[in-house]
Amino acid sequence: MENMTEREKMNAGMLYDANFDSELVKMRMEAKELCYDYNHTRPSEEEGRTAILKKLFKSTGEHLLIEQPFVCDYGCNISVGEGFFANYNLVILDPAPVTFGDNCFIAPNCCFTTAAHPLDVERRNVGLETCKPIHVGNNVWIGANVVVLPGVTIGDGAVIGAGSVVTRDIPAGAVAYGNPCRPHRKAE
């Protein structure tokens, strides 16, 4: 464990130095540069926009669209399936993997964050954090202003209501909403 790099610790879901490790800082800067390029393309430059996302993300389907602006931490931990659409102001903090299935629709102002900070002030103040992956299944609709927290899985066909804070797993086919987000009925 002592010989592990901060990136290896991050990938293992362990406590790691997010703020001062030069490799992680460099990776985030590269992602910020690509996000900057993406956010400054003209909306009509569809091929160029898609090319930037395909370079930034770990994997993508053939057809995807993210309305500008969009920001992420690393990009290389994000996978999106076929037919992915995200509206304005998408934020993905991806020290751990964030995976979206096919035909996901993300409304405006949503945040997916895999990063978590220690409750202990000393560890938090020296830049330590942990992370847990987020998985979103196929055919999921996420309403406006939703926040999805570390370690959450949202099942196939689920619908997450606007303004929800998703703190735990949501089963397939559920209509879920609230703070904290909870299933209320089956999607029709």
Is-contact 160 106, C-beta < 8 A?
no
Q: Which of 40, 63, 117, 135 is catalytic?
A: 117
Told to judge if 135 belongs to the known catalytic residues of this protein, a careful annotator would answer no
DSSP symbol at 7: H
Q: How far is it, in rounded angstroms, from Cα 60 to Cα 50?
A: 10
Distances (CA, A) of 126 to 1, 23, 74, 93: 19, 17, 21, 19
Structure tokens at 97: 């993997």
Q: How far is it, in rounded angstroms, from Cα 154 to Cα 136?
A: 5
Is-contact 115 134, C-beta < 8 A?
no
Residues 6+ apart with CB under 8 A from 12: 4
Is-contact 128 11, C-beta < 8 A?
no
Q: Which residues are catalytic?
A: 117
